[in-house]
């Protein structure tokens, strides 16, 4: 009898004595545990990707909000600089300057106050107090000294005003006399609720926290609002990154121990910044749930495999080999494997593996679609921000080139009215989620100052059979601005300059709703001698820019008839205009 072979390795000798049942159990363990580990590693990898995506999204949101806050500050700096350049400010005519300042406050910042201060901090004018009131000294002079040192406008950090316990910020601009000497500063204390509203408008409903900080890292505004945290510093582990300046993403911990993923972006001019904090619990909770679910499923599969190993005999060798091939095959090769392994129990395991592979494929496809949608949203936001800034720049330039350019008060009035018109157009489009807006709503937005409250001299009718086509965001903005310019011109020179004059505005549709039309007819005004010799901003807007903004197939007719100005706007609806503009910006 030949001797039994001796194995050099103890493990191989022990393995040779394993029963088929033990071998099948070991096979089940070897096939299931790696899958569980691989799936858990995939869940962790997905968690890291989701954390990176959330950080990038938070940083993009922080940068967008920084631009919005910067716009609010620039608007107020511009208002103060217009006042500082006025004749009353340069001559020190405080009564006239107070009247102008109160007009600016009433028009742009009803909750704010405008002050004029000497170099030593003595208040010379304060719109928040009666003219005859005794004016106090300014308590904090750091921002004012910066203005006198640099000769430029400056925005302060958060500080306590002359009312105890009230936190304020100051926007200071220099005031020079007729000889160009810096003699005082004009200051505005904007309401901190203004910045709360800016953050609230952009706050996503997903548990994120948005905070506006000053240069020292103290909270100016917060969404969701918590008044007791206004003026409080950020967590200590966040401050080193904030002190370095610039934009970035860091991890921080709240005083109660909650972990945050904080993205911060600086305002370039003021040094303030916006922080968007994502609670880490919002990111870890889905990953933990997926890991527990995956572990439970893996454990169930493992238990099923052990039960099969206990009950199956020699006939299970071939089905187990088929199951092993199925488990090792890539997701794309699953369709080429046989649909059945020859054993009902292993067929169930194979079906679970195929279902998991399909779920992974669907999850990957969903992630790719989410990334595409995110790029589309970011591109659309950038496109709209650029369009808004370009429109405001064009309005300012054209207003300055007109007759109002030589009169700061008139420039502020006309430019402010056009900005308010643009704001109404944006409010309408925001309410419509930047989708095409109904034509009657667009016309009412353009004529809001004359329709709300109603002016009996202005009539508006909109046909409903067929229904006029909706206007895309770009068309709606152009129509609102054009109607505002027509109404303003009618008030100054046309039918609305006389009590007996009137204006008729009509909108309807042609070609079964495929073409939209708006007509403007002035009646009862001063006789119109003909086209004006000098084209103002409104005329140039109607004759040159409006047809282009309305898009291909559009036409604008402006007739200076003796009985009154008549204008006709004809346009074709744009399908999916907002998506098309955003995709063009992304490319």
Tokens 């691989």, residue located = 38
Residue 121 — φ and ψ, nearest 5°? 95, 0
Provide the pLDDT for residue 32: 81
| Mean of pLDDT values over 173-188 | 89
**Which tokens is 78 given?**
């511009």
CA distance 215 to 245: 9
What 3-state DSSP class applies to 372?
A: helix
Provide the pLDDT for residue 576: 42
Q: Is the pLDDT of residue 275 over 90?
A: yes
- In the chain the domains, ranked by start, together with CATH numbers, are 17-311 (3.30.450.20), 402-586 (3.30.565.10)
Q: What is the 3-state secondary structure (H, E, C) of 378-421?
A: HHHHHHHHHHHHHHHHHHHHHHHHCHHHHCHHHHHHHHHHHHHH
Note the pLDDT tens digit of each residue in 447-467: 888 888 888 889 888 877 788
Provide the pLDDT for residue 35: 83
Task: Name the average pLDDT for the chain.
Answer: 81
CA distance 186 to 154: 11
More confident residue, 356 or 82: 82
Provide the pLDDT for residue 174: 94
Provide the pLDDT for residue 338: 66
Note the pLDDT tens digit of each residue in 118-142: 988 898 999 888 888 888 888 888 8
Provide the pLDDT for residue 5: 47
**DSSP single-letter state for residue 539:** H
Confidence at 519, pLDDT banded by 50, 70, 90: very high
DSSP character string of 282-330: HHHHHHHHHHHHHHHHHHHHHHHHHHHHHH--GGGHHHHHHHHHHHHS-
Confidence at 506, pLDDT banded by 50, 70, 90: very high
Q: Is the pLDDT of residue 577 over 50?
A: no
Q: Is the pLDDT of residue 173 over 90?
A: yes
pTM higher than 0.85, yes or no?
Answer: no
Provide the pLDDT for residue 582: 44
Note the pLDDT tens digit of each residue in 141-160: 888 999 999 999 999 999 88
Note the pLDDT tens digit of each residue in 427-442: 887 887 788 888 888 9
Q: Is the pLDDT of residue 579 over 70?
A: no
Q: Which of 78-82, 112-116, 429-433 has the lowest mean pLDDT?
A: 429-433
CA distance 143 to 548: 46
């Amino acid at each position: 009898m030949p001797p039994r072979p001796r194995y050099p390795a103890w493990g191989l000798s022990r393995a040779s004595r394993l029963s088929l049942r033990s071998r099948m159990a070991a096979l089940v363990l070897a096939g299931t545990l790696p899958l569980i580990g691989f799936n858990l590693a995939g869940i962790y990898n997905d968690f890291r990707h989701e954390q990176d995506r959330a950080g990038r999204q938070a940083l993009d949101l922080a940068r967008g909000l920084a631009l919005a806050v910067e716009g609010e500050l620039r608007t107020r700096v511009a208002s103060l600089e217009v006042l500082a350049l006025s004749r009353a400010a340069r001559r020190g005519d405080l009564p006239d300057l107070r009247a102008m300042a109160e007009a600016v406050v009433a028009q742009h910042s009803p909750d704010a106050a405008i002050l004029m201060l000497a170099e030593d901090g003595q208040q010379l004018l304060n719109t928040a107090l009666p003219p005859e009131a005794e004016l106090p000294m300014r308590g904090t002079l750091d921002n004012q000294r910066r203005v006198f040192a640099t000769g430029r406008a400056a925005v302060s950090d958060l500080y306590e005003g002359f009312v105890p316990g009230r936190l304020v910020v100051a926007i200071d601009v220099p005031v020079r006399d007729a000889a160009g000497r810096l003699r005082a500063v004009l200051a505005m204390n904007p309401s901190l609720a203004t910045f709360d509203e800016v953050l609230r408008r952009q706050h996503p409903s997903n548990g994120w926290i948005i905070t506006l900080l000053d240069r020292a890292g103290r909270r100016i505004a917060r969404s969701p609002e918590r008044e007791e945290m206004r003026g409080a510093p950020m967590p200590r582990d966040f401050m080193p990154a904030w002190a370095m300046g610039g934009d970035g993403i860091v991890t921080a911990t709240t005083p109660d121990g909650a972990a945050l993923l904080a993205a911060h972006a600086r305002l370039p001019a003021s040094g303030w910044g916006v922080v968007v904090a994502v609670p880490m619990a919002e990111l870890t909770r889905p990953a933990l749930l997926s890991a527990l679910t995956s572990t439970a499923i893996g454990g169930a599969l493992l238990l099923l495999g052990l039960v099969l190993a206990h009950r199956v005999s020699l006939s299970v060798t071939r089905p187990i080999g088929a199951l092993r091939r199925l488990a090792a095959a890539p997701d794309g090769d699953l369709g080429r494997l046989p649909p059945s392994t020859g054993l009902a129990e292993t067929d169930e395991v194979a079906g679970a593996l195929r279902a998991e592979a399909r779920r992974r494929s669907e999850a990957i496809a969903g992630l790719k679609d989410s990334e595409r949608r995110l790029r589309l949203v970011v591109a659309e936001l950038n496109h709209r921000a650029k369009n808004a800034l370009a429109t405001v720049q064009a309005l300012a330039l054209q207003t300055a080139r007109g007759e109002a350019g030589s009169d700061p008060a008139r420039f502020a009035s006309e430019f402010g009215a056009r900005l308010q018109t643009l704001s109404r157009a944006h409010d309408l489009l925001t309410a419509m989620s930047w989708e095409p807006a109904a034509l009657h709503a667009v016309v009412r937005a353009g004529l809001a100052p004359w329709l709300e409250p109603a002016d009996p001299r202005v009539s508006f009718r909109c046909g409903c059979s067929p229904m006029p086509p909706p206007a895309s965001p770009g068309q709606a903005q152009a129509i609102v601005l054009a109607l505002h310019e027509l109404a303003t011109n009618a008030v100054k020179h046309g039918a609305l300059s006389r009590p007996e004059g009137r204006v008729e505005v009509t909108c309807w549709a042609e070609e079964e709703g495929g073409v939209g039309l708006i007509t403007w007819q002035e009646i009862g005004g001063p006789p119109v001698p003909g086209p004006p010799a000098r084209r103002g901003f409104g005329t140039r807007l109607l004759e040159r820019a409006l047809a282009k903004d309305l898009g291909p197939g559009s036409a604008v007719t402006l007739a200076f008839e003796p009985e009154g100005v008549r204008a006709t706007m004809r346009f074709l609806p744009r399908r999916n205009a907002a998506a098309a503009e955003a995709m063009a910006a992304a490319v």
